[in-house]
Amino acid sequence: MSLRDRFPPVLAGVVIGLSMLAAFVVAGRGIGVSGMMTRLVATVQHALLPELTEKSAYFGRYFAGGANPLDDYLSYLMVGLLAGAFVGSVTAGDFRLEVQRGPRISTGGRLVLALIGGVITGFAARLARGCTSGQGLVGGAELSVGAWAFLLCIFAGGFATAWFVRKQWI
Amino acid sequence: MDMIAPLAKTGLISEAMNLWLAVPIGFVFGLGLYYAGFTDSRRIARAFYLKDVGVPVVMFSAIVTGMLGLWALSLIGFIDTSKMFYLPTFLVPMAVGGFLFGIGMAVGGFCPGTAAASVATGRIDAMIFVVGFLIGSILFGDLFPIWGDFYNSDYRGVFRLDELLGLDIGVVVLILTVAAIGGSLLMRAGQHYFWPQPDADVDALRARLKVQIPLVAVALVVAAVMALFPTESFIKPAPAGWFVIQKHAAAPETPEAVTAPSGDAPAEAAPAPAPAPAPARHPRGGSEGC
């Protein structure tokens, strides 16, 4: 990644912030990603185990009154997000199938850690009612105390863990 | 004068139009994530070693942009903040969730939004991360009775920093703007201290600064002006005290605010004024942040 084909950090942040502001102005709500992923996985489980999922204390609300969980604001946002990143990488000549890894870890090792990190993050996002975007960025802009606690604790958790996984990254 | 925004809540656009407009909004979001370099897991992870602090700088800039925009539009009477959905605070679960989330990010190298964007650029580690994320989400949901009580604990309603600190919204906005700039500079200094790059391309760095300095200057000026106004200028004494959102609102996605006497903002001494009715087994969709 050369410096020229990516934006300076502040400019990139302003672009992301403007997309969040647009959601405030148009929809009166924030942007988010993890909620859509939860709805996706609930839909998959519902297809396999409909009764169990509808009675689930957590997922049941998605199916109340025969609703389709994916018929939701966040799904439309996700379509746009995927298209935006896809167009960005293709126009930059950067789209390729690749396992991104540090210099000291094998491909298999990286994928195992990606899976473990995904499971932890998925659980944590549900516990915190949102992820970096829906809870952190949006709540941060709304001056939410919970969101700022979430953000600070992300950095605390990340810095506390960094030493143990250093061979993966540096 | 009636306020114009949020467009979907003031009836200026239909709900269907609102959904379709989410696509271009998401497009800009995804493009921004790509151009921030957030589709590269190594770049995200290096932030936790202070080796590349671009990630927190982008995050701070995004928050400050959204924050200045939201409260400035509220100040000029363009957006009706009483019609917006605000994220409620469940303080301890959110803090614990954040800590776990940070562990997961350092191990996996992504958060959900960056992983989704990275999948769209063809990256295989991002696809595996998303599979893990889905597994983690389903585990949380299916075993919800185990941690449901903790998940719903420490409810503070919509609890803002200005209420916590006892300051005006504008002052808090200015403090956060200055803190974001100061924090970014401090982390950048840490990066140069721990990971010096004597052969860095000075011209390229200078070109980037030329873009960034005006943006930072504009943010500082806007925040400084906003600090001159009292909280009442940002939040009109609305009929609905939206700072207290009922824990289980009637319909998902349209949380009904509990009507509270205006000016009854939660004081720092009693931050949980929510007259929450019988404890809910689980809150309805409205409290789902993301």
Q: What is the DSSP string of A18-72?
A: HHHHHHHHHHSS---SHHHHHHHHHHHHHHH-HHHHHH-TTTGGGGGGG--TTSS
Give Cα B172 to chain centroid, integer Å: 15
Structural domain includes residue B79: yes
Q: Is there a domain that residue B285 lies in?
A: no
Q: What is the pLDDT of residue B3?
A: 83
Residue B209, Cα to own-chain centre: how many angstroms?
Answer: 26
Nearest to B25 among A26, A99, A147 (CB): A26
Query: How far separated are the first and last CA of chain B, in Å rounded?
Result: 32
Residue B128 lies in a domain: yes
Q: What pLDDT is stored for residue B270 in this prediction?
A: 39
CA-nearest of B136, B225, B154, B277 to A146 is B154
Q: Do B107 and A57 touch (CB under 8 A)?
A: no
**Mean predicted confidence (pLDDT) in A12-37:** 95
Bridge partners (DSSP) listed for residue B123: A98
Tokens of A21: 């502001």
> How many domains does chain B fold into?
1
| Mean pLDDT computed over A99-112 | 93
Q: For residue B240, tell me if it sits in a domain.
A: no
**A127 close to B282: Cβ distance less than 8 angstroms:** no
| Among candidates A23, A118, A136 on the partner chain, residue whose Cβ is nearest the Cβ of B130 | A118
Q: Tell me, yes or no, whether B241 lies in a domain.
A: no
Q: Over the stretch B35-62, which tens digit does the pLDDT of each residue have?
A: 999 999 999 999 999 999 999 999 999 9
Is B75 touching A (CB cutoff 8 A)?
no
B33 found inside a domain: yes
Alpha carbon distance B142, B87 (integer Å)? 24
Q: What is the pLDDT of residue B261?
A: 37
Residue-level pLDDT at B87? 87
pLDDT score for B56? 94
pLDDT of residue B1: 54
User: Mean per-residue pLDDT for A134-158?
Assistant: 95
Residue B236 pLDDT: 64
pLDDT beneath 70, residues of chain B = 1, 236-290
**Residue among A11, A79, A155 whose CB faces B102 most closely:** A155
Is residue B7 included in any domain, yes or no? no
Encoding tokens for residue B56?
């927190």
Which residues of B fall within a CB distance of 8 Å from A48?
none
**Mean pLDDT lowest for which of A31-40, A72-81, B133-142, B196-205?**
B196-205
B207-242 burial, b if ≥16 CB within 10 A, otherwise e? ebeeebeebbeebbebbeebbebebebbbeebeebb
Interface test with B, best of A1, A3, A14, A96 (most B CBs within 10 A): A14
Say if B182 falls within a structural domain: yes
Give me the domain span that covers residue B145. 15-233
Minimal CA separation from A136 to chain B, in Å? 8
In this prediction, residue B240 carries a pLDDT of: 40
User: CB-based contact (8 Å) between B272 and chain A?
Assistant: no
Instruction: State pLDDT tens for residues B98-135.
Output: 999 999 999 999 999 999 999 999 999 999 999 999 99
